[in-house]
Structure 1
């Protein structure tokens, strides 16, 4: 087997060299790139802050009974125990994940030091269960085992970098996680799992820092590019002997059977789907090709087994897609596309995005009496380097050999890589935000199970959302709005109770009322607006969506022809990758009642908070490399809340 692998690798190297020699002049092949990012990221904060609009830290911390605080974390981080990570140059071990998350400096797979801008409150190692730990101990013959990735990027020329990139990418595309060309080695898998569990227990400090034992289960769809992946997260130290992988059960229903068994044995566990945007429409599919419901993929307890979904991460946004939400001017945000080389169609995106899935869920509640797609949302990174990259400035990538330097991400470090690397379409990661009474494994797990969570694209934007049948006037403007709103309503992730406190004399005309408060990241950009996204089902069983702007900055006028406030504008300077907080607001508040409410219609409501435009990671990279930035030069980072549901 080893000889076959070496022979295959040699053929690939010869073919790559031949193609490159024909396609590019020698002076381009043999010249290395000067890449300042290999010295490590600059995470310093250099904002021009409008001092007339100071931010207010910890806005939502109350002193009443049942108070909640927001905790920040990343539930999707890989180490060298994952086959793809090791092959791409990662050598970090489980302990490194938690050291980095708590603020210690770690060596990146590309050889430079990295430190998180601000420590996290919680984290989880989610190495791929498939062939767990085997690539690391197999003696693979790949470029990153022949020499360090740091040496490849610092000392070698563009030809060698391109050759190395192609060889590794070809190996992963052809073999998936089975890079060792051998079967499952249960002893290695068990030893790797023991290492993950031991690190989680060493670093778990109740009240200070929380760890979650877990792994990534990667469905076998027969297509390495199509994602039906889940992160399996445990809420206690009662754990299985070895992770359940897609080799043990290749489909989501197989995983659900395993999860039910775990729960029946008393273990606290959930699965968190991620990257539905790359599922070719399979992630949230509820019908077959004839329109008949598929019970296996939409069981009544799916929303309990999978209470939250990861919708913002490096491999793109999974909130919605322009083809699904054509009237949403902000839908085109970090759209990673679909499986490389395939056309993006309505079929490939239908069932692949969260908003569409929430609409499918309330449609099923209307027709079937239950909602299997009642889930909350989080963000995370999917870093494969034991880190949690989520900042645009100082972004360090997902997989070192693919995007671990500015030169690799832009394609400038190689020849033709700018046309081939998927990393150019990727975002900079995301964060999971959880509202909980304390930073413990039990409290955070409980909060995730009840869906009191929200996702951000990286910034620590704080979002509070409550709904009820009537709040005192001025609740949103109150300093202790959260205590009032929690007493009279329900938070994100909940269902509205029966109409017990109508806000109208005529209960038939009563509508739910919402309290929303958003605060900018204390070291980040000001806020543009708060939006409410509503989905509902009409009497014919068809679902719809609508976006309402609830609050916006700078006293901008409302444009009747568009139904939206004027654009916030932009202060981004592409030449220096900088911006100013001279526009936008540090916080926004709204108290809103649905003007189109119909008490006979199933509905959901969630909030989206947008920042003012800021430079994208690719713009920071372009400035470092002295090249023109790719589009988009600027993005509007965001936070997305879990929904609140209404049932007639």
Structure 2
């Protein structure tokens, strides 16, 4: 059956969410919002108010409105809500959608549903047809605890009114966010997660389904400029006079489905036959070896190559079309026409799992990102990081062991380890001082590596990773240990090595430990091998 390209916005808030009233003094009726979403020319939509803001009677009211507006073949609505929980003091948000007319309102404040893994387990036990879509937000820590289930969590929202989250430092990044490297869509793909791309507005106003310019906040709130020793620009934000939203809006969920029904759209999202669009309804077709976006292609025998096809048709001329392999652009064409396409053969596959995705740019800045196609070659070496869940992260007890070793002294501890054939290194520091830990890692001998923070404070602690082996940080020192962890795939024939330079703002640490034993780590640095 031919697939239909359908357009939706499945992340809209009504007056049932308290945050709606930050930007509005009237409106917010879900009935009215669904009417506007349909009149805006969308095929499907969902109002997903915060579960923590809704009373039980609000949820019942939202059910009735959502189901009344569902008109298969004309305009499809989904019952859902935004689920939030607190992890290490930071909020983590995911949107929950139900296939049917009914479903439970699971709350992040309830110990039975305060983690994503518990949501998945509940849906599985109860046989509930549900989809969970994580989304980034400027006041959250994207995927602090990554619990993943491909059945229930097939895609991730990579663009909204808040900004784009493709990679650290990408254009139209949320201006008041304090995200760190490792928290973006490319990072999740690099870790080995099979996640499709999707977008939606996260709109908090009565103006839905259309472009929205400057938002004016009705309450005074200020976000001061933070000191930034690592040079990542963060402008001063004054929400009193307005809010800097993503200029390329509205954002759309694009889905290739068999028909305009709840069942067909749900099935398409589960298959990752989706892509994200922002600023315009750009028609994007992306295929690798005749597999469409979101699919897995297995090559059991030679030739191990990828035949790539991509086509983009915009509302205005397409200025550029790019294809990425493992997060790196490998093919690009410039254009000046409404429709641009490319086709090429890639013989650069050299490992067991390779992923490709495309992105298209309109001449006015609007853009679209496809879901990837994964190419699996079982006879090639496995060079994946195998970081697909929080269980695959280095041992969390290392922070506690560091605190016991330091016993209040200002110091640093370096821990080596291995996990599924991957080398691991953790660097933790702590102590009783008002100084900051300043340091650098120079990483060599790895085919691929990933660095993430442990215990960093939002807006106060920073680190950068240039992607080529240089990691720098500037973070506070306190009684509670904090640090960075590295996991890497060694390059064949190379000796993995990490050179460490660290100090308490130029002063040497009182003590330093390597794998629990005292060792000499002068401020000029030391090298660690496995």
Q: What TM-score do you get using the length of structure 2 for normalisation?
A: 0.63
Bigger RCO (CA 8 Å, 6+ sep): 1
3-state DSSP of counterpart to 2:337: coil
Contact 1:77 1:386 in 2 (8 A): no
Aligned residue-pair number: 360
Per the alignment, residue 128 of structure 2 pairs with 267
Contact 1:263 1:269 in 2 (8 A): no
Q: How does 1:607-618 map to 2 (within 5 A)?
A: 607-612=358-363, 614=364
The structure-2 alpha-carbon separation of the partners of 1:419 and 1:441, relative to structure 1 and needing over 3 Å to count, comes to closer
Cα deviation for residue 493 of structure 1 reads: 0.6
The structure-2 alpha-carbon separation of the partners of 1:417 and 1:352, relative to structure 1 and needing over 3 Å to count, comes to closer
3-state DSSP of counterpart to 2:82: strand
Cα deviation for residue 313 of structure 1 reads: 0.5
1:336 maps to which of 174, 178, 191: 174
RMSD: 2.6
Cα deviation for residue 597 of structure 1 reads: 1.8
Greater strand content: 2
1:302 maps to which of 136, 142, 149: 149
The structure-2 alpha-carbon separation of the partners of 1:277 and 1:604, relative to structure 1 and needing over 3 Å to count, comes to farther
Per the alignment, residue 380 of structure 1 pairs with 200
**For 1:390 and 1:425, how far apart are their aligned partners in 2?**
14
**For 1:102 and 1:431, how far apart are their aligned partners in 2?**
14
1:465 maps to which of 286, 291, 295: 286
Cα deviation for residue 421 of structure 1 reads: 6.1
1:589 maps to which of 335, 341, 344: 341
Per the alignment, residue 350 of structure 1 pairs with 181
Q: How does 1:387-536 map to 2 (within 5 A)?
A: 387-391=207-211, 395=213, 397=215, 401=218, 423-424=243-244, 426-427=246-247, 428-468=249-289, 489-499=290-300, 507=302, 509-521=303-315, 525-535=316-326
Cα deviation for residue 233 of structure 1 reads: 0.8
Contact 1:277 1:318 in 2 (8 A): no
Per the alignment, residue 452 of structure 2 pairs with none
Contact 1:273 1:310 in 2 (8 A): yes
Q: What are the superposed Cα offsets for residues 573-620 of structure 1, whole Å, 9 maximum, x if unpaired?
A: xxxxxxxxxxx211011122214222x3421111000111x2xxxxxx
**For 1:357 and 1:420, how far apart are their aligned partners in 2?**
35
Contact 2:76 2:261 in 1 (8 A): yes
Q: What are the superposed Cα offsets for residues 120-167 of structure 1, whole Å, 9 maximum, x if unpaired?
A: 1000010000031xxxxxxxxxxxxxxxxxxxxxxxxxxxxxxxxxxx
Per the alignment, residue 80 of structure 1 pairs with 15
3-state DSSP of counterpart to 2:27: coil
The structure-2 alpha-carbon separation of the partners of 1:389 and 1:201, relative to structure 1 and needing over 3 Å to count, comes to closer
Q: How does 1:17-96 map to 2 (within 5 A)?
A: 66-86=1-21, 88=23, 89-96=25-32
Q: What are the superposed Cα offsets for residues 347-394 of structure 1, whole Å, 9 maximum, x if unpaired?
A: x42231101110012xxxxxxxxxxx2111111111112542552xx5
Q: What are the superposed Cα offsets for residues 489-546 of structure 1, whole Å, 9 maximum, x if unpaired?
A: 221011113347xxxxxx2x4301112111112xxx21012101111xxxxxxxxx31
The structure-2 alpha-carbon separation of the partners of 1:256 and 1:587, relative to structure 1 and needing over 3 Å to count, comes to same
The structure-2 alpha-carbon separation of the partners of 1:402 and 1:516, relative to structure 1 and needing over 3 Å to count, comes to farther
Greater helix content: 1
The structure-2 alpha-carbon separation of the partners of 1:266 and 1:83, relative to structure 1 and needing over 3 Å to count, comes to same
Cα deviation for residue 119 of structure 1 reads: 1.4
Q: What are the superposed Cα offsets for residues 15-48 of structure 1, whole Å, 9 maximum, x if unpaired?
A: xxxxxxxxxxxxxxxxxxxxxxxxxxxxxxxxxx
2:168 maps to which of 302, 314, 321: 321
Q: How does 1:257-296 map to 2 (within 5 A)?
A: 257-275=118-136, 279-280=140-141, 282-283=142-143
Moved >4 Å (runs of 4+): 249-252, 416-422
Which 5+ residue runs of structure 2 have no aligned equivalent? 221-235, 378-530
The structure-2 alpha-carbon separation of the partners of 1:82 and 1:276, relative to structure 1 and needing over 3 Å to count, comes to closer
**For 1:467 and 1:417, how far apart are their aligned partners in 2?**
43
Query: Does 2:60 match 1:229?
Result: no
Q: What TM-score do you get using the length of structure 1 for normalisation?
A: 0.52
1:97 maps to which of 16, 33, 37: 33
**For 2:29 and 2:132, how far apart are their aligned partners in 1?**
23
